[in-house]
Chain A
Amino acid sequence: MTHNHPSIVPGGVENYALELYQGVKKAGEFDPVLLARNGPPVSRAAAPHPGTRLSRVNQDEGQLFFHTEGSAFDLFRMTVPDKRLYTQSFRDVLLSYRPDVVHFQHTLFLGVDILREIRNTLPDSAIVYTLHEYLPICHRDGQMLRTMNDRPCMESSPRRCHECFPEISPQAFLARKRFIQSHFELVDLFLAPSRFLVDRYVDWGIPREKLRFEPNGRIRPPEPEPGSIELDDPERPRNRFAFFGQLSPFKGVTVLLEAMKILADEVVTDPRPRVWLHGANLEFRSPEFRREFEEQLDATRERVTMVGRYEPSELPDLMRAIDWVVIPSIWFENSPLVIQEAFMHGRPVICSDIGGMAEKVEDRVSGLHFRAGDPRSLARTIARAARDPELWARLQTGIPEVYWMEDAVKSISAIYRQLMERKRSEAAA
């Protein structure tokens, strides 16, 4: 189950959900169904067939849309007011398929109480929930950044959350947490793609024994045809840097631009670092942010190239054209896809020293850390990286093995088996 399907809007979690579904299906042990939520505000499509919330995604019978209204979704408590979504529509789905395992990738626009419906209707089914993000912990869209200063936050509590949202009482935050946890209690096993995520949810109140670190597997790309890759000059300077991702404040793109401005103003390096920005959706940002971004881009235009939107299929070529991937996010990140992409293409990563990024990129082994949100620290790191081609080569050899989807499928299949066994014995007892 997921909150969206890549064919509506691509995104990290929904891509992973589809790939996992395809991987499990291909492995043949289980007979999976992908139920992807559809509806506003993600999609403008309404449920096409009266009397059912279901419709087909494509020719694959195993992929279905589950339409919900979205407008009534309570983003604070993560639920919908009309419980017939669960007690009628979703119950029908459950009774038709009678799944042994229901595996959630997200409950946004579905609601956390959907978990209770599974427990009510199929008491012997296992519920697995992959926590890809922090929405249940943090009402600020799960960003874990304080509203007053955009500093990362490691301590969710009614008091702290009320400080971020003075219009919401601390009591309401306790009620929110208690409500979400009431339903999370029904989950048999939580998975999380980073140890950082695991720790955050343990802090928040999920028992550690119910949480397991399970990295997101990557689809193995087809082997390139011989001769299709141009040979790289090992002596070439490693001064090409790139940013991939949303052009948003949380992704730290302005931290990167500010660092480039500092380099232009103060630091004389040779070779001079150059930056390419691959990203889009600037039009969705606030006017203040857009103005700041444009001004900074203008001030650094000699060293920074704004490239724009890219398709996932273009990544190999784009990666080959640069040396370093910079991830300057000011928030913790979950398990950024860009890191996996960079590593798959042998590119060391320069990233903020916090959260999921710092966990996935080992400082001075597979990349370099800089102080999150600090343009000076990033400027120094970039200058150092551009100066030293040997550093680049050493870090490239430190890049870890990619965790391929077939490994993930094996691991997750084992989890399914184990949980099904446990449920069977519980039912027998």
Chain B
Amino acid sequence: MRPDRPDETRGSVGVAAPGSAVAESAWIPDSLGGWVDYAAWLGEEILILVGWFPAPDGEIEFALERDGQLESLDACFESYARSDPPPEDPSPAKVVAVRLLRPPRAASRMGRLAVRSGDRVLTLGPSDLSKSLTDLDTLLLGGLVPLPARDRGRLADFLAGVPRKLGLPVPFETSRALAIARDLLCESPDPVVIASEEPRGLHVDEIFSIDEETFFVRGWLHDREARVVDLRLVSPEGHRVSVFDTLHRFRRPDVEKFYAPAGAEHSTSTGFCARFGTRGPSRLPHGWRVEMTNAEGDRAVTAAPPVIKDPERVRRALLKQLGGETRPAETLLTDHLAPALNRLQTRLMDQVAVAEITEYGATPAAAEISIIVPLYRRLEFLEAQLAQFVHDPAMREVDLIYVLDSPDQADALAISAPQLHDLYRVPFRVVTLDRNGGFSAANNLGVGAARGRLALLLNSDVLPHHPGWLGKMRSFYDETPRIGALGAKLLYEDDTLQHAGMYFDRQPGNDVWLNMHYFKGMPRSLPAANLTRRVPAVTGACVLLERALYEELGGLRGVYVQGDFEDSDLCLRLFERGLASWYLPDAELYHLEGQSYPSAARSLNTRFNAWLHTHLWDETIQEARAAFPYEAMAGGACPPGDGEETEDGGADE
């Protein structure tokens, strides 16, 4: 299939370049020897060529030739050894991927494909190409499958990376085509047999997608004969990634027991998990493979189950990995879980947007304060809050925003919200998110819709103890220089303290800082809890701050899982700027804590969040602790600093 001499008609090859035109004149047409064996489309914008193109100086460029002008095309290639090139030119054969629009989409920009090396060019007209143009399967079977296994694996990996190199998205069809290519090019050895007498075993329990290019794999391996020296994952599209160097390994008593009868003394059976990236997107759930190699070169291969993509399941699995070990290596968190969870959280948070804002009643356009209340699942809290807000004339003056973070309840809320407004006559707005975004996203998007100079974040399970609290918080905030966040006194249902400010503490022998609440469980009237004072941090269940400041800081950080530590993270960012958190006992509210979501999952979330919080803030926390010794706080003394000392707050009943 050597190309003909240039086509007399010099017609179009029906391809069009996406790039900008680069004027070229100094070239010698049709002066480059070489040929195309196969050409095939990979998706709608990539033309794959298999052929021999001599490249005296090692460089080849691809261009579109029109009216004597060359337009440079994005392309990449991979070489491989072949016996049929002319002996005078030892250039290797090549698999080339060129970014071109596939006809008929390209109809508007016609041209001929030009391959250039130095000042020599090979142009390919339609008849040249039509002889070699085929489907991808034929290209692979005829051109690449006969090659030695070493080349095939490399070329499969090259093909998988083509869309990324050309800066193109990978639609589902391209993924499918790549998966077929991988299956044709990479031999699938028989999967390893799992039996206790076998020398090797390899199993993938689960593989999770963090995003399209980041994955988390969990499984176990076993080799009785030699040290394992490599572990690679192969995506359905052909991406080949070694995860061995960063692999987190942990004991699997079940696997150890399984292989024990056959002699365990040399066994290296362990559980493993790893977060890893591919060099391009992988979308296909089926077809992942794992390959293990030991020091003697023995290989074991196994197929992975389908990729789990549901972010909630992925998050649970990641946290479960943390929960599976009492004292996990720091690298499990730093190399695997934290980057994976952060990426997952960020991705989830970036995906969520405001779907709709509905106004019930005339909410004041020029309100001083916006109150942002995320609603998740428990819609009845809205009614419970309105039944208390209704007693407080101040609540008619505020910009009250409910952020619905469980959008599947949007219809139910759209029915009850107007009725509740009609009954309570407290104006409010409902900001409905297009998907569940979590505490941070809900608050941040709520603040994004806010109009007030001040923003008060309020949990839906917080009920005022008596009217007047908001005015007190506002006055105090406005009168206090260098204030960052202002928190209130929060009570349990039996009038004991739920929140009177927060400080940081850790257990002996544990590096992780925990958020502690001052005087938790003490009576409401405890003198020490009735001092207005600066504190290391305040709870996000009820916190007032300037809206501009909140937005400047970027709001609550979404890296923590499901509503935990965002508040102290915010206070620590304020602390870094020299802005203090204050506790105002004069503002009293009930916090019916613990009704928001079940606590089983919560302890794992907290374990991770506490670690992350410490990881991010260790130094600042130490500084904060130096400024707020617990003994001084418990005794009621204000820490040294530039804040103004104020009168005792005291409960006002």
- Interface of A toward B, CB cutoff 8 Å: 77, 79, 81-84, 86-87, 113, 116-117, 120, 157-159, 169-175, 178-179, 182-183, 185
Nearest chain B CB to A92's CB is how many angstroms away?
13
Kindly state the separation between the CA atoms of A170 and B593 in the bound complex, as whole angstroms: 11
Q: Which of B388, B461, B493 is in CB contact (< 8 Å) with A170?
A: B493
Q: Please provide the 6 A-B residue pairs with the shortest distance between their CB atoms, ordered closest to farther.
A: A174-B493, A83-B419, A171-B592, A182-B387, A87-B422, A158-B493
Nearest chain B CB to A149's CB is how many angstroms away?
23
Nearest chain B CB to A400's CB is how many angstroms away?
41
Q: Which residue of B lies closest to A83 (CB)?
A: B419
Kindly state the separation between the CA atoms of A116 and B423 in the bound complex, as whole angstroms: 7
Supposing A169-B594, A171-B592, A174-B590 touch, asked if A81 and B416 sit within 8 A by C-beta, the answer is yes
Q: Which residue of B lies closest to A177 (CB)?
A: B493
**Interchain CB contact under 8 A, A175 and B463:** yes
B390 interface residue per 8 A CB criterion: yes
**Which of B380, B423, B425, B595 neighbours the largest number of chain A CB atoms within 10 Å of its CB?**
B423
Supposing A81-B416, A174-B590, A175-B384 touch, asked if A87 and B423 sit within 8 A by C-beta, the answer is yes
B630 interface residue per 8 A CB criterion: no
Nearest chain A CB to B642's CB is how many angstroms away?
39
Kindly state the separation between the CA atoms of A86 and B424 in the bound complex, as whole angstroms: 11
The residues of A that contact B391 with a CB separation of less than 8 Å are 182, 185
Nearest chain B CB to A311's CB is how many angstroms away?
42
Kindly state the separation between the CA atoms of A400 and B492 in the bound complex, as whole angstroms: 48
Nearest chain A CB to B361's CB is how many angstroms away?
13
**Interchain CB contact under 8 A, B388 and A157:** no
The residues of A that contact B423 with a CB separation of less than 8 Å are 83, 86-87, 113, 116-117, 120
Q: Which of A120, A174, A175, A182 is in CB contact (< 8 Å) with B425?
A: A120
Kindly state the separation between the CA atoms of A83 and B422 in the bound complex, as whole angstroms: 8
Kindly state the separation between the CA atoms of A178 and B593 in the bound complex, as whole angstroms: 16
**Which of B387, B463, B494, B594 neighbours the largest number of chain A CB atoms within 10 Å of its CB?**
B387
Nearest chain A CB to B413's CB is how many angstroms away?
12
Kindly state the separation between the CA atoms of A86 and B590 in the bound complex, as whole angstroms: 28
Nearest chain B CB to A123's CB is how many angstroms away?
12
CB within 8 Å of A: which of B353-393?
380, 383-384, 387-388, 390-391
Kindly state the separation between the CA atoms of A83 and B383 in the bound complex, as whole angstroms: 11
A-B contact pairs, 19 of them (CB 8 A): A83-B423, A87-B419, A113-B387, A117-B423, A157-B494, A158-B494, A159-B494, A169-B595, A170-B494, A171-B493, A171-B592, A171-B594, A172-B595, A174-B590, A178-B387, A178-B463, A179-B387, A182-B390, A185-B391
Supposing A174-B592, A178-B384, A182-B391 touch, asked if A84 and B419 sit within 8 A by C-beta, the answer is yes
Kindly state the separation between the CA atoms of A174 and B490 in the bound complex, as whole angstroms: 14
The residues of A that contact B383 with a CB separation of less than 8 Å are 79, 179
Nearest chain A CB to B20's CB is how many angstroms away?
62
**Interchain CB contact under 8 A, B493 and A173:** yes
Please name 12 further chain A to chain B contacts, defined as beta carbons within 8 Å, in addition to the given A84-B419, A171-B592, A175-B592, sorted by A numbering.
Answer: A79-B383, A83-B422, A113-B387, A113-B423, A120-B423, A171-B593, A175-B463, A178-B388, A178-B463, A178-B590, A179-B387, A182-B391
Kindly state the separation between the CA atoms of A172 and B420 in the bound complex, as whole angstroms: 20
Nearest chain B CB to A30's CB is how many angstroms away?
28
The residues of A that contact B422 with a CB separation of less than 8 Å are 83, 87
Kindly state the separation between the CA atoms of A120 and B492 in the bound complex, as whole angstroms: 32
**Interchain CB contact under 8 A, A82 and B595:** no
**Interchain CB contact under 8 A, A116 and B494:** no
Kindly state the separation between the CA atoms of A79 and B420 in the bound complex, as whole angstroms: 12
Supposing A170-B494, A171-B493, A178-B387 touch, asked if A82 and B419 sit within 8 A by C-beta, the answer is yes
**Interchain CB contact under 8 A, A171 and B387:** no
Nearest chain A CB to B395's CB is how many angstroms away?
13
Kindly state the separation between the CA atoms of A116 and B421 in the bound complex, as whole angstroms: 12
**Interchain CB contact under 8 A, A116 and B388:** no
Kindly state the separation between the CA atoms of A159 and B495 in the bound complex, as whole angstroms: 11
The residues of A that contact B380 with a CB separation of less than 8 Å are 77
Kindly state the separation between the CA atoms of A86 and B494 in the bound complex, as whole angstroms: 32
Q: Which residue of B lies closest to A185 (CB)?
A: B391
The residues of B that contact A81 with a CB separation of less than 8 Å are 416
**Interchain CB contact under 8 A, A171 and B461:** yes
Q: Which residue of B lies closest to A74 (CB)?
A: B380
Interface flags for B436-463 (1: CB within 8 Å of A; 0: not) read 0000000000000000000000000101
Interface flags for B109-147 (1: CB within 8 Å of A; 0: not) read 000000000000000000000000000000000000000
Q: Which of A82, A116, A158, A169 is in CB contact (< 8 Å) with B424?
A: A116
**Interchain CB contact under 8 A, A83 and B590:** no
Kindly state the separation between the CA atoms of A158 and B592 in the bound complex, as whole angstroms: 11
Kindly state the separation between the CA atoms of A171 and B491 in the bound complex, as whole angstroms: 11
The residues of B that contact A113 with a CB separation of less than 8 Å are 387, 423
The residues of A that contact B416 with a CB separation of less than 8 Å are 81, 83
Nearest chain B CB to A299's CB is how many angstroms away?
46
Nearest chain A CB to B219's CB is how many angstroms away?
41
